[in-house]
Amino acid sequence: MAAVTILDVLRTKRDGGELSDEQIHWFIANYTDGTVADEQASALLMAVFFRGMSGRELATWTEAMIDSGVRMDLSGVGRPTVDKHSTGGVGDKISLPLSPLVAACGAAVPQLSGRGLGHTGGTLDKMEAIPGWRPQVSAAEYLALLADPGAVICAASSNLAPADRRMYALRDVTATVESVPLIASSIMSKKIAEGTESLVLDVKFGSGAFLVEEERARELARTMVDLGTANGVRTAALLTDMGTPLGRTAGNALEVAESVEVLAGGGPPDVVELTLALAELMCELAGLDADPAAVLAGGSAMDVWRTMVSAQGGDPDAPLPRAPHVETVAAGADGVLTLLDARSVGEAAWRLGAGRSRKEHPVSASAGVVWRARPGDPVRAGEVLFELHADDPTRIPAAREALEGAWAVGDQAPPPAPLVAARIDGDDR
């Protein structure tokens, strides 16, 4: 057989053909070690964006990305392992209360997390708002935390699916982020490599989501569930609505405070609802006979949270950063809030400094948006609807502009939409 060359790989996919297993493994290995140049990899990613991948191609592509690094062994932690991954949204702080809750139910939760980009926040950015908390842990610390208290939120090591690290950065600058095969392989290569036995996916749709259309989100969920199942990971997904932002806050320290409220037995009803829905599914896949609602009410999840934070240098009792500049947006008329657009709220938080446009940019711990009402809530003229929190007051006018058209007041409440639209399991067809 002739040796594989990059031009053969590019021509095959450009012309709509299927890449062979040999071509895929060759490309991933040679791109990871720098033999294949970024411009050549960019051309292949664009070809995949337009031509797609067969099921066999995607399975091999994901396998090759896993094989580019190490596959962790969590068999010695003494608990069933189960992780959760969200495709991201506005106000999506669910990992913060969820991880300690599921650990308090008896599982080990290896939450290898990332940073935010654009209008969606990143779990590490939120956690770094806690004074002293550090995202890096050693391999020994990681395994020890999974054994007791049973959960860890941290940055992934550089030897976990390194092919994805390079490819993700390239997708971000080549307009190929939205490809379902590339999204699925990116997420699942890391999650499979981390060694978890079970995985729950929170795949979002709506204006504030990565994929706006529900059917596209369903396609992604189905693809990822199939990849996990094929690789021996018990996998299921929930399709959840991100047309309206989650909770009452978008911003790093603001979302930490809201998460702690949930762990203390309060918090916004939608955040509690989704936290419990995901916790129940995670416990089911992990084979645990636990009642997450009862565990949450009992306070043990808060104990796990405090231990988790302290173990990574954070002070769970320290005051969270507060923005020095807070301005408000008020309702112009009496009525009912009929619209609260997630993407617009996320854009406002980003403009205030809570997010970044490039991965290397810093974020503000204290910046963000607080909303006082959700669709269906009554409002009165002059009543505060939004708080805009910023370190730099010159950012506030742009945030106000982002909120124009983000909300509406009418006479009738909109019909309620379910937060969880569907569940997708490994044996669904």
Predicted pLDDT at 291: 98
Q: For 25-30, what is the mean pLDDT?
A: 97
What value does the mean pLDDT take over residues 348-356?
89
In a domain, 19, yes or no: yes
* Percent of residues in the chain assigned helix, strand, coil, to nearest 5: 45, 15, 40
Q: Are residues 195 and 255 in the same domain?
A: yes
DSSP per position, 236-254? EEEEEE-SS-STTEEEHHH
The reply to whether 422 falls in a domain is: no
Task: List pLDDT tens digits, range 111-128.
Answer: 988 776 556 668 999 999
Q: Please state the rounded mean pLDDT for residues 164-171.
A: 86
Place of tokens 């269906």: 376
- Indicate if 212 and 169 belong to the same structural domain: yes
Instruction: Say whether both 354 and 233 belong to one domain.
Output: no
The larger pLDDT score, comparing residue 416 to residue 257, is at: 257
Q: What is the CATH number of the domain that holds 334?
A: 3.90.1170.30
Q: Which of 274-283, 291-300, 384-393, 411-420 has the lowest mean pLDDT?
A: 411-420
Within a domain: residue 118? yes
Number of domains in the chain: 3
The residue range of the domain holding 364 is 325-410
pLDDT for res 175: 84
CA-based nearest residue to 374, from 332, 333, 400, 406: 406
> Are residues 361 and 280 located together in one domain of the fold?
no
Q: Are 287 and 353 members of one domain?
A: no
The residue assigned the tokens 């935010």 is 116
Q: What is the pTM of this model?
A: 0.94
Looking at the structure, do residues 295 and 352 belong to the same domain, yes or no? no
Check whether residue 260 and residue 291 sit in a common domain. yes
Q: Which of 251, 283, 317 is the last residue before a domain boundary? A: 317
Say if 385 falls within a structural domain: yes
Query: 41-99: per-residue pLDDT in tens?
Result: 999 999 999 999 999 999 999 999 999 999 999 999 999 999 999 998 999 999 999 99
Cβ neighbourhood burial of 73 (10 Å; 0-12, 13-18, 19+): exposed
| Assigned domain for 181 exists | yes
CATH of the domain at 159: 3.40.1030.10
In a domain, 331, yes or no: yes
Q: 340 and 292: one domain?
A: no
- Whether 89 and 221 share a structural domain: yes
Last residue in a domain, options 265, 299, 317? 317
Over range 284-302, report the average pLDDT.
98
Residue spans of beta strands (DSSP E) within 121-187: 151-155
If residue 279 lies in a helix (H) or strand (E), which one and from where to where? Answer: helix 269-286
Sign of the dihedral through C-alpha 190, 227, 54, 177: negative
Domain check: are 267 and 394 in the same one?
Answer: no
Residue 94: its pLDDT value, please? 96
CATH of residue 48's domain is 1.20.970.10
Domain boundary among 285, 317, 349: 317
Answer yes or no: is 415 within a domain: no
For the stretch 118-161, pLDDT in tens is 566 689 999 999 999 999 999 999 999 999 999 999 988 888 89
Could you list the active site residues? Answer: 85, 164, 171, 186, 190
Query: For residue 330, what are the β-bridge partners?
Result: 384
Q: What is the mean pLDDT of the chain?
A: 94
Same domain, 293 and 329: no
The answer to whether residues 126 and 230 belong to one domain is: yes
Asked if 92 and 246 count as a contact pair (C-beta separation under 8 A), the reply is yes
- The H or E element that residue 140 is part of is helix 139-147
140 Cβ contact partners less than 8 Å away, ≥ 6 residues apart:
none
Model confidence band, residue 355 (pLDDT cutoffs 50, 70, 90)? confident
* pLDDT, position 270: 97
| Residue 65 lies inside a defined structural domain of this protein | no
pLDDT of 358 over the 90 cut: no
